[in-house]
Structure 1
Amino acid sequence: CIRDSYYAEWVMGVTRQLSAPYLVTDYDGDKDIFYVQNTLQEEFVGRIGFLTSFGAPVSSYTGDRSEFIGRNGTLGDPRGLKLDRFTETVGAGLDPCCALQLLVSLAPGESKTLTFLLGETENRAEVEKVVANYGQPEKTLKAFEEVNRYWDELLGNIQVDTPDSSMNLLLNRWLLYQTVVCRIWARSAFYQSGGAYGFRDQLQDVMALVYTTPEVTRKQLILHCGHQFVEGDVQHWWHAETGKGIRTKFSDDLLWLPFVTAYYIERTGDTGILEETNTFLEDELLKEDEDERYSIPKISQEQGTVYEHCIRAIERGLHFGEHGLPLIGSGDWNDGFSRIGIKGKGESVWLGWFLYLTLTRFSSLCEGRQDFERGTRYRSIAKELQQNMELHGWDGGWYRRAYFDDGTPLGSSQNRECQIDALAQSWSVLSGAAKPSRAKDAMLALEHYLWRKEDGVLLLLTPPFDKSLPDPGYIKGYVPGVRENGGQYTHGATWAILAYTSLGEGDKATELFQMLSPIHHARTEHEVNRYKVEPYVVAADVYASHPHVGRGGWTWYTGASGWMYQAGLEGILGFKRQGDTLVLTPCIPSSWPGYRMTYHYKTTKYEILVENPMSKMTGCAKITLDEDVLLEPAILLKDDGQVHTIRFTM
């Protein structure tokens, strides 16, 4: 006989350390199902976890982790694998786990399949239904095949073949997988396991899905509308079951709703989303000295269309300071800038670029709905904002980051700490608002001061905060050179890739993409020992301070995965859909001879071949569709079930 063991540690909450004392295990010997339940939790009350097996009889079990691992034991060499039988201990007051021991008899040349089913559902009755459904080997095999088919279809919708094999691996599988399973489904990882929705977070994540599963992007936009207060501001984050979340004075959260809505419509042509409706939230307004409140707001009787939700967000965001720049509130995209505008007067230069782009994009939607007065007003505000950005945002060699309540600039050569910030430079390009000469100078400054190529990091800002005043906020709580405080914050670094492609600098864009790639941090034993984290998912941050330069921070749960996908696909490879038209604007390294792509549009397959005989980074010399020469690199997509070939010569 062969003794086969299966071991699972349960969390059933945010962290195991907090939930373990309240996990109670039980075993149903008649049905051979192991149960576990968290008896003390506010969310998902009464739900139950389970473990069972098929293919061989269970000989013994234990719900005691200390029995399985053993005193001073490890999971690498657990005591449980040496035991003839487990003690069948279950109940409360244990260090909880679920461990099954099966005895498998095999004749010479015989093979058997063992299946373990681990899950969580509402109650025991539901568990029994699930177990009965998967109890037949053919159903288990079918389910496994369906899972594989799902991922092949999702991740195979767009496939790329470039001279950079690491880019192929990331764009073809890993970046979308990381975004979907961790950011959108789980909203949890080892370093951050709350499971909450972030208003700005998941909206940015679903931007990466507009080509593969646009219905997910659409659904997320409508969902987020329901977490907007009647006044126009939004929950910074919330938990799904109860809606309990935090109301803040963050200045950028609400603007991601119109920004992503405009992006979604531009890519899909689905203006119908603007007519979808959802409710608002109601709660007491934050007091003047109150930065945030954690509560369960009331669902309002008032409803609004997605368009109305977006308008209310924009109107709420149109608050400006003495320099004519948007007020930063208790923080913008960088949550750590929590005290720059604590008195209600601090301003954000980055937010100015972001608001400008949001206003210009959404004004077109206003005009498309015959809301001409509003569209004209938004363009007028954007124009005035653009002038103020150049007047008060430019520092002489790059753009500043913000202004404190007392008018002190941040991200300026005047500062001892945080003399330059990456976001203000990259978004000056992405917004299209900066003077072209200044935008190029800003990116040169970013490259000179923030891109440390010898260390393989692109800093968010430098020098890091440590001792100087005024106090920018909790960002100073991080060690200098770590996370937002002067380390590489990969989410922000990906925007520099898009900025470089906007400027037509394919060499720099691809060099930065490769540097940010986790694969390029683990090519040698030395790199592995320095990086120390997974080489197949993007890390949220990389340390930039001695002695940990180049060490990966937290992984999996980062918005960088979705933005890096966009940077590679739309920025470098130049793949953009505009409704039912495919526009190709590659910005690649001059050393690339070309690349290939396949795109499945409904029932049609497009094979795209890009050739670069003149070693260019941008430009189109000739483009053909099935041998027909086109006047411009814009292809009208057809759902005709055929295979079409696009040949693009740079």
Structure 2
Amino acid sequence: MEDKLYEFSEDEKACVIYQPKLPRYWFNYLWSEKGYCAQISQNGHGRSYYLNEKADMCMLNNNDARYVYIRDDESMQSWNIGAAPLNEEVENFKCTHHLGYTELSSQVDQITSFWCLYVPKDAYHEVWRIRIKNESQRTRKLSVFEATSFELEGFSYPRYYENYRCMETHFDRDLNGIYCSSDHPFAPHKRYNAFLASSEPVFAFDGDLSKFCGGVGTITKLDASAYALFQRPDIVVKGLDCSNSEAALFVLGAVLQHKIVLAPGESKEIYMVMGVSESVEEAISVGRQYKEKKAVEDSLQKAIAYNVDKYSSLILETPDAKVNHIMKEWIKKQVDCCIVGKKGVRDNLQIAVGLLNYRQEKAKEEILECLRHQFQNGHAVLTWYPYDDTRYSDQPFWIIWAVCELLKETGDLSLLEQKISWQDGGQATVMEHLRAAVSCLIRDKGKHGLVKIYFADWNDALNITTDPEAESVMLSEQFCMALLEMEALMHYIGNEEYAVFLRQEYEKLAQAINTYAWDGKWYMRALSQVENIGSKDSDGSKIYLNAQTWAVLAEIVPPERMADVVASVDGMEGDFGFPLNMPAYEKYSPNVGRMSGMLPGLFENGGVYCHATSFKIFMDCKLGRANKAIRTLKKIMPDSEQNPSSNSGAEPYVFTNCYATHPGYYGKSYWSWTTGTSAWALRSIYEGIMGLQRTYEGLRIAPCFPSDWNEATVVRHFRDADYRICIHNPMHLEQGVAHILMDGQEITGNILPDMQDNKVHDVQVTLCGK
């Protein structure tokens, strides 16, 4: 395995990592339907938190502290299974990030250790299965230390009511572990208590991390007490035993020490539970569930089955191994994870539309939840955790778009009459929520007839502080798409009067965009009385990607301009995708705002924002440019040919939000997992390239297929039926008329019969010449 960073398992459900020291942490996320989530790096550390249905956060551990230390009590050699934070060398390191668990393993001085972590489906906790085996020919005496910090923060409270003032730890004999209680008067729920419990007798413990780690640190808390330094904890490296400390106020956590003696060839298992609870009695009850090996193994297998089964309704097989690695399994998990980590109207609606491809009920739940955060005047909050109602302009668009997609997916028009609360009181039908969103965007038009940008639109960092009347070209284009979507819905339900009104608004807005936002070769990004943004005459950036892609998606580009728009987009291509704007701003401009204050090539200032590049892939598919679409998708996929993970640092199994184009950080990625890129990338392969598109009448098959793919297969659940769809491309076309057979019978057109019969149907699609 020399120099080999990783490989995927044959079924793509796991990524196996062979090096503990990577360019950055490669995480897995494991979570329950109750809202408990554990983030786990290749070294085993990471944050654990609980987020309830009202988005009240409880962060268990500060500094992401979750560690297992092993010490030979005779030689006093000490190490970690995951090689960190002691940073002592280990042999045969392996980290397996699976859809349903993470397991670390390594060997030091003929002691082989395994650490498996998982989160049960309906749990408020995580489970650790630790196995230590003596591979030597002599008896070994070892100490095993399981350690975590306790934070219990994440909610708002008045000044001077800091949560640490209400916390204390104690060792509970019935729990066989440490319980950290919090009695905060403003806690929004009762689960601001944490625990770490063991299945085996505890030799010693520490609830005061300063006793375990030592009292000297480089970071201090408010009273100047040192943060615990887990990299070289005194107890471990000095050959000491835990001091049985309990504590209140500062530097709280849990360390449990086990003494084990292993004969040659013998192994020992220890089961740990870490989580939140409403009471110590609940924690004791939970801990007792994981005392025996069979109970832990059964629980683990159920967690694995659940995490595999919930993604099984959408299956992909393509001729491209790189695409399969991430698009068969991990992209579905990443989109699902975003719902756990994000609580914002714009973000969650985009994620939910991705989820409609395979977790329809969860997507429906999320879309309706977003409507509850819409105000009666049609706009909505940016996020409800943390709460932020800053006036971003684009929330109404996402509401219209997502609800229309939900209706097309389910075919259930009764949803339009369902009553949903407003953020500012009262309730209304879903249809009334939609009409409020339309009215809001019409009302928000500026002097050129385009929609005002207010604080920002989709691009949080484009803040035109010099002109409160500035208009967003991108949002105006998106509103054109929304008007088309609403018009189609109104025709479908028979509301012709409103449909005519929507068409008239679309025509007016499209004309205004083409009149005032066209810059000769491309569309400007925003109109401002000080300076138009994204124009050939602008200071700094001359062109923005989103204004071009959404013009195509919204069908507003006149035929005579299309070649220029497409050429302008193609001219933006870089080594690993398409930058958000070109060239990057060299200096801050109040006419542009926050993005221009960043270093050139970082984040929104000329970085390759993968979310926006995903919009471009949909543009390619709409134009029948399949080869361009797959080329672009593979550029923003992690571990791409021109930007391997060894350079970018990106986990090879999930999408990242951005790649830098700044020379000092060239190709590096920022964060992954919780990025809207995931939903759009998923949709780009399933809805764009494979062409499985929901409509009110049924599932449309309209592939935009790479010409070098002979065939590909996808299984899609749609309205209580499963369709196994194999696309054949004998003529090596990028797009063509699809000849469709379903269950051996020829289909007229390209919309599959809406079976709703709980059966599996075989669909053979052949691309033919036009």
Q: Which category describes the TM-score, using the shorter chain as reference length?
A: 0.7 to 0.9
Q: 1:439 aligns with which of 562, 571, 580?
A: 562
Residue 144 of structure 1 corresponds to 300
Q: 1:65 aligns to what?
A: 209
Give, as a single letter, the amino acid of the residue that structure 1 aligns with 2:340: W
- Relative to structure 1, the CA distance from residue 575 to residue 80 in structure 2 (aligned partners, 3 Å threshold; closer, same or farther) is farther
- Contact 2:639/2:650 (CA < 8 Å) preserved in 1? no
Is it true that 1:237 corresponds to 2:383 in the alignment? yes
Q: Deviations over 1:21-78 (max 9, x none)?
A: 8753222133213222456695545533433445421111113434444568975665
Deviations 1:622-648 (A, max 9, x none): 322233232333222435454432222
> Residue 355 of structure 1: CA displacement?
0.4
Aligned-partner Cα distance in 1 for 2:504–2:719: 40
Spell out the pairing of 1:390-401 with structure 2 (5 A cutoff).
Answer: 390-401=514-525
Q: In 1, are the aligned partners of 2:174 and 2:284 still within 8 Å (CA)?
A: no
Provide closer, same or farther for how the CA distance between residues 640 and 325 of structure 1 changes in structure 2, counting only shifts above 3 A.
closer
1:371 positional shift: 3.8
Q: Distance in 1 between matches of 2:186 and 2:732?
A: 60
* More displaced stretch, 113-122 vs 98-107: 98-107
In structure 2, give the amino acid aligned to 1:446: V
Q: CA deviation at 1:205?
A: 0.8
Which position in structure 2 is the counterpart of 1:290?
Answer: none
The aligned residue for residue 204 of structure 1 is 350
Structure 2 counterpart of 1:503, from 614, 623, 641: 623
Number of equivalent positions: 608
Aligned to 2:258: 102
- 2:661 is matched with 544
User: Is residue 501 of structure 2 the alignment partner of residue 381 of structure 1?
Assistant: no
Q: 1:159 to 1:69 in 2, by over 3 A?
A: farther
1:429 aligned to which of 538, 546, 552: 552
1:115 partner SS: strand
Q: CA deviation at 1:522?
A: 8.9
- The secondary structure found in structure 2 opposite 1:520 is coil
Alignment of 1:62-461 (within 5 A): 62-69=206-213, 78-82=233-237, 83=239, 85-104=241-260, 111-135=267-291, 137-181=293-337, 183-187=338-342, 197-239=343-385, 245-282=387-424, 300=425, 302-318=426-442, 319-339=444-464, 343-406=467-530, 408-448=531-571, 450-452=572-574, 455-461=575-581
The structure with the greater share of residues assigned to helix is: 1
Match of residue 651 from structure 2: 534
- State the match for 2:69 in structure 1: none
AA at the equivalent of 2:152: M
Letter in 1 for 2:419: T
1:557-572 mapped onto 2 (5 Å cutoff):
557-572=674-689
| Cα displacement (A) at 1:529 | 4.2
CA contact under 8 A between 1:572 and 1:587: conserved in structure 2? yes
- Report the equivalent of 2:726: 609
Shift in alpha-carbon separation, 1:405–1:122, aligned structure 2, 3 A: farther
- In 1, distance between residues paired with 2:683 and 2:628? 16
- TM-score, with structure 1 as normaliser: 0.87
Residues 513-522 or 46-55, more deviating: 46-55
Question: TM-score, normalized by length of structure 2?
Answer: 0.74
Offset, 1:202: 0.8
Summarize the Cα distance change of 1:109–1:469 in structure 2 as closer, same or farther, 3 Å threshold. Answer: closer
For residues 389-427 of structure 1, the C-alpha deviation after alignment (integer angstroms, 9 at most, x for no partner) is: 111121111111111144x32111111312100101111
Q: Which amino acid aligns with 1:365?
A: L
User: Residue by residue, what CA displacement relative to the aligned partner does 1:577-607 show, whole Å, maximum 9, x if unpaired?
Assistant: 3357332211122112221223345775533
1:192-242: CA deviations, max 9, x gaps? Answer: xxxxx2111111111111121111121122212221222222211123xxx
Residues 1:9 and 2:149 are matched in the alignment: yes
Q: Pick which of 119-128 and 78-87 moved more.
A: 78-87
* Structure 1 residues 414 and 23: CA distance shift in structure 2, 3 A: farther
What pairs with 1:573-592 in structure 2 (closer than 5 Å)?
573-578=690-695, 581-592=698-709
Percent sequence identity over aligned pairs: 26
CA 1:115–1:604: 2 relative to 1, 3 Å? farther
Show CA shifts across 1:82-132 (max 9, x none): 545211222124433322122345566665542211111333333233334
Q: CA deviation at 1:482?
A: 0.7
CA RMSD of aligned residues (A): 2.7
Check conservation: 2:588, 2:597, Cα contact below 8 A.
no
Mapped to 1, the partners of 2:690 and 2:173 lie a distance apart of 57
Q: Against the structure 1 CA distance between its residues 19 and 489, is the aligned structure 2 distance closer, same or farther, given a 3 Å change threshold?
A: farther
Structure 2 letter corresponding to 1:330: F
The answer as to whether partners of 1:201 and 1:559 remain within 8 angstroms in 2 is yes
Matched AA of 2:562: A
Residues of 2 paired with 1:79 and 1:489: CA distance? 44
* Unmatched segments (≥5 aa) in structure 1: 188-196, 283-299
- 1:160 Cα deviation after fit: 1.0
1:287 counterpart residue number: none
* Alignment check: 8 A CA contact 1:267 1:579 kept: yes
